[in-house]
Amino acid sequence: MVVRPNPAYPGNTTRERSAMSVEVRIPTILRTYTGGEKLVTAEGASLQELVTNLDSSYPGIADRLVDDAGLRRFVNVYLNDEDVRFLDGLGTEVADGDSVTILPAVAGG
């Protein structure tokens, strides 16, 4: 696996692939799935795995984030400060201590 330094944990440069624990910020509109929780923890080595893991804890939430084509067009997901569309989408690798933020697009016609 590729180990990259994590600015949040400068001393931590090795980690187990099997236990990536990531904080996920949930937007207001999806807090009905998380019992009102704004900040939850999920596990996985990629964004896809995180979404699957989130859905096992909060059934139904995955459907609001992804469809058959991948990440839904009007849902923005950020790994730390970066929109995952500019990384590797659902394939984006995540590391222990990373932070994921979900924000619905603010858009309309």
Binding site for other proteins (CB under 8 A): 27-29, 74, 76, 78, 81, 83, 85, 101, 103-109
Q: Tell me whether residue 10 or residue 109 sits nearer to other proteins (CB atom).
A: 109
Q: Tell me whether residue 52 or residue 76 sits nearer to other proteins (CB atom).
A: 76
Task: Please state, in angstroms and rounded to a whole number, the distance separating the CA atoms of residues 101 and 69.
Answer: 21
CB of 18 to other proteins, least distance (A): 29
Query: By C-alpha distance, which of 3, 40, 2 is closest to 22?
Result: 40
CB of 52 to other proteins, least distance (A): 23
Q: Tell me whether residue 17 or residue 25 sits nearer to other proteins (CB atom).
A: 25
CB of 106 to other proteins, least distance (A): 4
CB of 14 to other proteins, least distance (A): 29
Q: Tell me whether residue 12 or residue 28 sits nearer to other proteins (CB atom).
A: 28
Side-chain half-sphere CA neighbours of 51 within 13 A: 23
Task: State the residue for tokens 């509109």.
Answer: 29
